[in-house]
Homo-oligomer: A and B are copies of this chain.
Amino acid sequence: MAAKYFIRNITAGLSRATVSSQNAFKRFPLITNFLLTNRQVFTACPVGIEDKHNRLVVHWKESLTDEYPLVWLRDNCQCSACFNQSSQSRTINFSQFQLNQTLRHLAISDNNVEIHWEDGHKSAYDFKWLRQRSFHQKEQQNWLKTNKELYKTWDADCFKRIPVFDFKGVMQEDNILLDWLETLGVWGVCLIKNAPHGLGQVGSLAKRVAFVRKTHYGEEFSVQAKADATNVAYTQGHLQLHTDLPYYEYKPGINLLHCHIQYNGNGGNSLLTDGFKIAEKLRENDPETYKYLVETKVTWSDIGQENGNHFHKIHHAPVICESDDGTIRRINYSQPQRDSHMVVPIDQVEKWYRALKNFYDLATDARYLIEFKLKPGEMVTFDNLRILHGRTAFGENLKGERHVQGAYLDWDEARSRIRVLKTKLLGN
């Protein structure tokens, strides 16, 4: 099955808001909602302020009231003695901090409220700053959402609608870089076209975001057939669907794969499945399998050497990892890197294999599996905590000179870049 993509135009000089309103809204309802949430504007204009029950109560123009605990206000005093502007850090010595704070009086101006504390200290709080830190649950949740993309799962059909980016655009335009990173956060996968010829493109892309996340395979690694392969990826065989490096407790979050040389004959096709979609489907239709895959820890391992450096990684984690709120947050799956040690009660072993087979059968089902052949200059970039990827067999006897170069990037760094870009482009 060959998927079709379209390239998002490089719209140099066109603002991000304009790009979004012209193209993106219909295609990506989730991204749209996400950005709109971010753009909410409050007037932050109070009509009344009072001190009540150890809280500062602010009545806003919009008939809305916010309350702020005095202890929190004192802890977050923004004066130069309590807060270091250049490092944007609280400097109050917590050993001497008083939990019982009382205020003497308030001084209110157009933009802020100044609290005169009983001990003589004064703290000023900008109204907009206060409004953004509302303790209303809904607004706390909205703020949380702006810090992490809400993912949207895809199947084989939906995959075709995920945007494709232009390498030069991502490298040169901040709004396109932001679009690419947010698309990765929401959809978990993105193709990038028109990368220059030659090695080193994945490193350049990683550095455009932050820097490469190094592993025992190095910074930029070459996926090509080798004699005495230290990894099954370095063979010409069929590479079954997997996530990379499940044996890392700190598994690299984003995988960048650049096709440098493609195999000329049949084969060498890329395979992709959305692991979050598979997990969701199991949760819906086969809750027993889902539960088993969430509750059973698997031993993932990798033993070998790369450039003379020996490694022996082990990590115990389920195939489907949930956050404490039940959100699916990480998929671990790799047939070659599942250890022969199995820490499961013997009575559950058969059941365990059945659950794993159900998972894999669904992941390789035509409804969810995408297959396409990368051309030289094309990149597939994806969330390694989520997407299963693989490759069909190609060539023979190390003669198929297919060469893909890869590098990893961590979500910590990518999300940091998203926030910095949003502040720069959207003024958040």
Contacts and interface: CB of A to CB of B under 8 A. Distances in A.
Q: Chain A contact residues: over half helix, strand or loop, or mixed? A: mixed
A415 B314 contact: yes
Contacts of A147: 314
Contacts of A231: 87, 89
Q: How many copies does the complex hold?
A: 2
A169 B337 CA distance: 34
B133 A341 contact: yes
A91 B232 CA distance: 8
Contacts of A360: 94-95
Interface string A122-143: 0000000000110101001101
A343 B144 contact: yes
Classify chain A's interface size: 35 or more
Contacts of A302: 88
Q: Which of A84, A213, A238 has the most CB of B within 10 A?
A: A84
Nearest to A297: B324
B357 A84 contact: no
A304 B357 CA distance: 47
B343 A143 contact: yes
A416 B313 contact: yes
Contact of A336 (B84, B250, B338): B84
A336 B89 contact: yes
Nearest to A301: B88
Interface stretch (A67-75, A187-195, A283-291, A376-384): A67-75
Interface of A: 54-55, 67, 69, 71-72, 75-76, 84, 86-95, 97, 99, 132-133, 135, 137, 140-141, 143-144, 147, 210-211, 213-214, 216, 228-232, 234-235, 237-238, 240, 248-250, 253, 302-304, 309-316, 335-338, 340-346, 349-350, 353-354, 356-357, 360-361, 364, 410-413, 415-416, 419-420, 423
10 contacts: A54-B350, A69-B350, A75-B353, A87-B229, A91-B232, A135-B344, A135-B346, A135-B349, A216-B416, A314-B415
